[in-house]
Amino acid sequence: MPARPCGPYRPSGTTARSTAIHRRALPLLLIPLSGCSGIQSALDPAGDEAAAIYTLFLVMVAGGALIWLAVVGLLLHAARRREAPWSEKTAGRLIAWGGVAFPVAVLLALLAYAVWLMPAIRPWLAHSAPAARPIEVTGEQFWWRIRYPAAEGMPAFETANELRLPVGARAVFALKAQDVIHSFWIPALGGKMDMIPGRTNTLSLLPTRAGVFRAPCAEFCGASHTLMAFSVVVMEPEDYAAWRRAQAGGNPATGSEGERLFAGHGCAGCHGIRGLTETASLGPDLTFFGQRQTVGAGTLANTAENVARFIRNPDKVKPGAKMPAFDMLPDGDIAAMADYLVGLK
Amino acid sequence: MRLIPKEIESLWTLFTAPTIWALHFLACYITAAVTCAKAGAVPFSFDTMRLALGLITLAALAGIVLSAVLAWRQWGFGSGDPPHDEPTRKDRLLFQGFATLLLSGLSFVAVLFVAMPLVFIGACQP
Ligand SMILES: [Cu+2]
């Protein structure tokens, strides 16, 4: 199987095998195209804005292909041996039409199309809709703080590294940055928008298909920039409402061993778990952590072993991560805390 | 009737059209940026601004056409054939006329491109 440049996302760092492509296997080259679907692809839109971008992409590719064919055709035509050369007048006319008028008209049309499409890609007028209270997303080295506003009688709450949205409802985001510039990009849903310290940028997206998508940080932000991503779960509205209700309620104390250790080892100084600890804000909120797709903001699959690995030495998993190592703790303690966190469902 | 004395039909007229293009560009970008940054504080609406910039665009295009007509005349209304590369005073004048004409064409298209968003963008981004 050829390498799939935009194949499915594998959080635990597996690699795709690549094989030499035999000339007779040329049609296989088309197979990577199937890899362009998937959870982090702008070529597999699941939202209105992404669909507009996808259309723009197709139009530009088709336009580019036609122009390329025309140029190559002209080249072949010009290289042909002929009896009498073109008269200077005919050649001049060819240059005027083919070299000036045609490119000006094509560029004018493409530019008009792209500018006309802009309101569909960045529907900023939607921001002023009364229902649109923004979800605040803050980029921090190297994770995402997400604050949901109070809505429909349910209180505001904070979560991290996983965004949940109802399908078919316009979502508005207030984008901020804590330390350096990050960039918010959910390829399946729309274009990207920078997060700049000291500024609030607004972005609006309309998800049209339920599913789980991956959103990488799109602006280099430090050593673990590539390991800074979040998951986006687009859900049916009823499921979303149930999720919201549960989130606001939090994870009440169970009295488990892991929970006791979590409080005892000082984790709660940086991490909040609603219903259990006071909200701390240095690190990601961990309420319902077990529901998340990944640990370490898109770095590893969310399994008890990976969580333990992360707690033992975050810097090894994620260079520069701003969580101290806990490798001085007994393995048993770490495993118990990991089990507890993964069990917060 | 001469609009501009013949002596000025020189390097200076060569730059007229690109200068209009540059000024038009600045007018569009600065006006739009200030209007949006001061949204609510400026005493006119976004559509008024669009209209005003549209008129400025027409004026800029008219200026460029004028520059093109003058250049065309300087070029002898296309009577001679380029490239006008003899080391004579006449050829230099014709060459400049021709170059000015081409630059006017470029500037005309560029002003159209710069003005394009006026047609499609109807509001500031918040
Ligand atoms: Cu980042």
Q: Do residues B101 and A97 lie in contact, with contact meaning Cβ atoms separated by under 8 Å?
A: no
Q: What is the pLDDT of residue B56?
A: 97
Answer whether B117 touches A (CB < 8 Å).
yes
Query: CA A191 → CA A47, A161, A188, A204, B24, distances in Å?
Result: 10, 19, 9, 10, 30
Q: Quick check: B109 and A104 CB within 8 A?
A: yes
Residue ranges per structural domain of chain B: 12-118
pLDDT tens track for B27-57: 999 999 999 888 778 888 889 999 999 999 9
Q: What pTM was estimated for this model as a whole? A: 0.79
The CATH number of the domain covering residues in A135-249: 2.60.40.420
Percent of chain A with pLDDT over 70: 87
Answer whether B126 touches A (CB < 8 Å).
yes
Answer whether B119 touches A (CB < 8 Å).
yes
Q: What is the pLDDT of residue A2?
A: 40
A12 has pLDDT over 50 = no
pLDDT-based confidence at residue A95 (cuts at 50, 70, 90): confident
What's chain B's length in residues? 126
For the domain made up of A257-342, give the CATH fold.
Immunoglobulin-like (2.60.40)
A96 has pLDDT over 90 = no
ipTM of the complex: 0.81
pLDDT tens track for B83-117: 777 787 778 888 888 888 999 999 999 999 999 99
Helix and strand counts by DSSP (H, E) for chain A: 9, 12
B17 has pLDDT over 70 = yes
What phi, psi does B80 have (nearest 5°)? -90, 170
Q: Do residues A164 and A141 lie in contact, with contact meaning Cβ atoms separated by under 8 Å?
A: no
| Average predicted confidence (pLDDT) for chain A | 85
pLDDT tens track for B50-77: 999 999 999 999 999 999 998 888 887 8
Cα B100 from Cα B69, distance rounded (Å): 10
pLDDT tens track for A98-131: 888 888 898 899 889 988 888 878 776 655 555 5
Q: Quick check: B120 and A124 CB within 8 A?
A: no
- Tokens at residue A227, please? 């390991």
Å between A182 CA and nearest CA of chain B = 20
pLDDT tens track for A167-188: 999 899 999 999 999 999 999 9
Q: Do residues A86 and B92 lie in contact, with contact meaning Cβ atoms separated by under 8 Å?
A: no
Region label for A260, one of left (φ > 0), alpha (ψ between -120 and 50) or beta (otherwise):
alpha
Residues of B in contact with A120 (CB under 8 A): none
A136 has pLDDT over 70 = yes
